[in-house]
Amino acid sequence: MPERIARALCIQAGQPETAWESFIPAARAVLEAIREPDAVMQEAGAVMVKAALDGQSEEAREEDAANIWRYMVGAAQR
């Protein structure tokens, strides 16, 4: 995932595609910045989690959704 982000940042910056590796630090910063979901993202994720974990409180579903997001972004950082 860092490579994909770096390539996109490189293109957005108007740099030659061969310069993508210089954008790896910025790509890692992007992943770090999105690691923690905001409240709106947690609420949206909770809707999805609700279907699988019906019976939990809204707060518990939001926390589960946030944990899933963190896990997915963490996997992308590797």
First to last CA, the chain: 8
What is the C-alpha to C-alpha distance for residues 9 and 6, in angstroms, rounded to an integer?
5
Q: Where are the domains of the chain?
A: 1-34, 37-78
Asked whether the beta carbons of 9 and 21 are under 8 A apart, the reply is no
Neighbouring C-alpha atoms within 13 Å toward the C-beta of 13: 16
pLDDT at 37 (0 to 100): 82
pLDDT at 49 (0 to 100): 75
With a cut of 50, which residues of the chain have pLDDT below it?
Answer: none
pLDDT at 35 (0 to 100): 86
pLDDT at 17 (0 to 100): 93
pLDDT at 9 (0 to 100): 97
